[in-house]
Structure 1
Amino acid sequence: MSRSGQPPDLKYMDKKLQIKLNANRMIVGTLRGFDQFMNMVVDNTVEVNGDEKTDMGMVVIRGNSVVTVEALEPVAKMQ
Structure 2
Amino acid sequence: MFKGGQKKDNALDLSKLVDKTVRVKLAGGREVEGVLKGFDQLLNLVLDESTEFLRDAEDPLRVTDETRTLGLVVCRGTSVTLVAPTAGTEEIANPFIQPEEEA
User: Aligned residue for 2:97?
Assistant: none
Q: After the TM superposition, which segments of 4 or more aligned residues of structure 1 sit over 6 Å from their partners? A: none
Task: Quote the offset at 1:10 in angstroms.
Answer: 1.2
Matched residue SS, 1:51: strand
Matches within 5 A, 1:1-79: 3=7, 10-49=15-54, 50-73=64-87
In structure 1, how many angstroms separate the alpha carbons of the residues matched to 2:26 and 2:14?
Answer: 24
Deviation at 1:38, TM superposition (A): 0.5
- Percent identical among aligned pairs is 37
AA paired with 2:77? G
TM-score after normalising by structure 1: 0.80
Distance 1:40 1:60 in 2: 6
Whole-Å separation in 1 of the counterparts to 2:37 and 2:72: 9
Q: Give the deviation of 1:73 after TM superposition.
A: 1.7
One-letter amino acid of the structure 1 residue matched with residue 40 of structure 2: D
* 1:22-54 residue CA offsets vs partner (Å, 9 max, x unmatched): 111001000000011010100000000112200
Pair member with larger Rg: 2
Aligned partners of 2:47 and 2:70: how far apart in 1? 10
Relative to its length, the structure with more strand (as a share) is 1
